[in-house]
Amino acid sequence: MTDPPARPLVTLAEIQAAAERLRGITLRTPLLAFDRPIHGHPQGHPRAWLKPESLQPIGAFKLRGAYNALASLTSDERARGVVTHSSGNHAQGVARSARLLGIRAVVVMPDDAPSVKIAGVRADGAEIDFVGSSAEARAARADELSARDGLVLIPSYDDRRIIAGQGTAGIEIVEQLAELGYGSVPFTVLVPVGGGGLISGVATAVKSLRPDARVLGVEPELAADARESLHAGHIVRWGPELVGRTAADGMRTTALGIITFPQMAAYVDDILTVSEVEIQRAMARAARVARLVLEPSGATTLAAWLFHAHEIASDGPVVALLSGGNVDPGTYTALVADGVAAGG
């Protein structure tokens, strides 16, 4: 047997086209100065900047990719409706995009998904089909519904349109750093890694526009399949019993995709891992210092900056992309309390 032909990588042009589709739909989330300014800096700039995708209309970055994917459908495909599977934020992205475009949407979700994410999907009028907690069960059910009802399947991360949409955040980071006076200063971007859709797009945009930049992924120690895959040079799968241990429910994917892995191999410099306690402490620090509510997945990059700065090894500005803030109030309160108890 011969290996299948290599797929062409997603391009900057595809990401720029997605940015045009998203104009007026998604927010150009700000870069927020984090922590104390550099001593003697005339504008009071700090080393670290936060890009809070938690401020998007659905509370997470997923609207970027979902809307780009649905807006790219043909009129026949829109008439058929769409189906997707997700533990929450992609589900909300598809539901909101379908509402804006007048498309029927069916979302397969785990029965233990956070209630705030379930409520968000329902509020936008999408139909929910609940299955067990494993990603494999969700994918199988979505495939079944697509085949049975003719619905167009919208992947959560392993899709060119999704990657291109998520990559628009990378374009914004480059533009915003230039506006702050860092147009020729090397910088580092920290990006959360689940299935790889976000970091694939962001890394492609950033490295295409600024080859001198570094892009580092961040994932929980308890769900570090992406780090292992990047270091091994091939996709390594972790079982659901392993990735299910992390509180970061948006990062419980068991493997990178066949599209996202080569994209990451081409553009991502490395992947860092953070502990559960570090995630909790980052959530507490975000609330206290930045006045931001973050879900565990969204706090991973801040945790990397707070507790692994020595691994980042950068003298230039560091941007931590915060992927989302959709978390049940009770869960949030408990995690932040644990973070404060651990040192904040």
Would you call 207 a catalytic residue per the annotation?
no
Contact 187, 177 (CB under 8 A): yes
Pick from 271, 274, 285, 270: nearest CA to 307: 274
Among residues 62, 86, 208, 229, which one is catalytic? Answer: 62
Pick from 149, 66, 145, 127: nearest CA to 101: 66
Structure token digits, residue 94? 């598809």
Q: How many CB atoms lie within 10 A of CB 3?
A: 5
Among residues 54, 97, 229, 323, which one is catalytic? Answer: 323
Structure token digits, residue 165? 């949409």
Residue 84 CA from chain centroid, whole number: 16
Cα(23)–Cα(17) distance, rounded to whole angstroms?
A: 10
Total count of residues recorded for the chain: 344
Phi, psi (deg, nearest 5) at residue 297: -60, -40
Would you call 62 a catalytic residue per the annotation?
yes
Q: Which helix (H) or strand (E) holds 274?
A: strand 270-274
**Angle of the 62-71 helix axis to the 197-209 helix axis, nearest 10:** 90
Catalytic residue list:
62, 323
